Amino acid sequence: MAERYDVVIVGAGPAGLAAAIYASRARLKTLVLDESVPGGQMKTTHKVSNYPGFPEDVKGADLAKAFAMQAERFGARIRRAVEITGHDLSGKTKWLELDEEEKVEAPAVIVATGAKPRELGVPGESRFRGRGISYCATCDGAYFDGKEIHVIGGGNSAVEESLFLTQFARKVTIVHQFDHFQAEPVSAREALESPKIEVIWDSEPRAFLGENQLERVRIENVKTKEVRELATDGVFVFVGYAPRTDLLKGVVPFNSWGYVETGEDMSTGVPGLYVAGDIRSKRFRQITTAVADGTIAALAVQKYVKEHG
Amino acid sequence: MSEHVKEIGEPEYETEVVAASRQQPVVLDFYSTDCPPCEALAPKFESVAELFAGRARFVKIFRQGSRELASRLGVTGSPTLVFFKDGKEVGERMSGEEIKKTALKAQVEALLS
């Protein structure tokens, strides 16, 4: 027998939790599911400086906890570390199977599964994952105390996490494919001025090499075509994000970049199915825009549930 | 801490992991503080440990307290799961946020067969 909710929200990042706050305050019986702990990408961001309401920097993990506590305060139930092992999101009543052992159902589902760090797709990357290659600075930075490491990327994450990594590493070398950072000017300048950070411009990684452990990264200068190998103790990869759309395969169409198109109210072509946050096709992906999406989706769901629930 | 997962320190590695894996497979979890993916793995690890109680051993070790062992095994990320059987490491390691309970279950099943 499936437990019934008014709305099931998949993904406990800022979009999903904002939706949960609005839905639970509207007295909808609300369930939030996450494969991990709440927070989405926020929880592994070492500091957040641009979320309104926090005049000082806030740790991403603390902001994540605050979002979750606020949603739970109004009665939303958040299930952590739960795996969705089966689902039907197309019908009037939508159901999800959890951990191969139980089912939940609801007339409305908001998919806010976000995006995950993009992999480079370079030879050696999967072999050395956890053996020198990492995608999470807060998790793994301390492994590189006094070491010389490389960061791949030049956007906000790459630059800000490089600054964070200088707490541990003796030297951080950023390898970036362009001749300037895409990061916000404040962090970009801080990185360029840091005595511990060096930048190799116009270069991309081509291979990760080593015996049992990552030892070297082969890079190519995209302008001169010069190829060289750099000795390294570890590499952190921050080259953007890829949408997590597994749950929606065959349910809604994706655009050519893999994201989901929605109406202004976050609706999809499937009645009762909404998407919010980074998984959506849109120009800007920020915590603030995810929160806005989640809010809108929850308000649209309230109306939908009233009419069809 | 669940009764099915044993926390060890570096000095117990040889007995609790290497030697113990001659009796039954051992899954060793390196975890860290300030590591949300580790927090996320913990309940999955415990529930799989419970499922295999008596057939496989599940052990966790705090990486910050086991630097030398982590570096000897070449573990550079948390969480990392390392699998042992017959006194040596076997199978693919699992690491990061994407460790699924079903995948962990499948790998332990494979070690038992």
Per-residue pLDDT of B33-78, as tens digits, reads 889 899 999 989 999 999 999 999 999 999 989 999 999 999 999 9
**B56 flagged as catalytic:** no
- Supply the mean pLDDT for chain B: 93
From the candidates B8, B18, B35, B40, give the one annotated as an active-site residue.
B35
Structure-derived torsion over alpha carbons of residues A252, A255, A256, A259, reported in degrees to the nearest 10? -90
Query: Whole-angstrom Cα distance, residue B14 to residue B59?
Result: 12
Identity of the residue numbered A290:
A
- CA B66 to chain CA centroid, Å, is 14
**B1 flagged as catalytic:** no
Query: Whole-angstrom Cα distance, residue A186 to residue A188?
Result: 6
Contacts of A283 (CB under 8 A, 6+ apart): none
Check if A205 contacts B (Cβ < 8 Å). Answer: no
**Contact state of B102 with A100 under an 8 Å Cβ cutoff:** yes
Query: Whole-angstrom Cα distance, residue A93 to residue B2?
Result: 37
What 8-state DSSP symbol labels residue A129?
A: B
Check if B37 contacts A (Cβ < 8 Å). Answer: yes
- CA B12 to chain CA centroid, Å, is 14
Interface test with A, best of B28, B63, B76, B95 (most A CBs within 10 A): B76
The segments of chain A whose pLDDT lies below 70 read none
Query: B25-47 burial string, b = 16+ CB within 10 Å, else e?
Result: bbbbbbbbebbbbbbbbbebbbb
Interface of A with B in 93-112 (CB under 8 A): 99-100
∠ at Cα A147 (A133, A164), nearest 5°? 75
Check if B36 contacts A (Cβ < 8 Å). Answer: yes
Sign of CA dihedral A259, A261, A267, A269: negative
* Model pLDDT for residues A231-275, shown as the tens digit of each residue: 999 999 999 999 999 999 999 999 998 999 999 999 999 999 999
- Percent over 70 (pLDDT), chain A: 100
ipTM of model: 0.81
Check if B68 contacts A (Cβ < 8 Å). Answer: no
Residues present in chain B in total: 113
Check if A85 contacts B (Cβ < 8 Å). Answer: yes
Please indicate, yes or no, whether the overall pTM of this predicted structure exceeds 0.80: yes
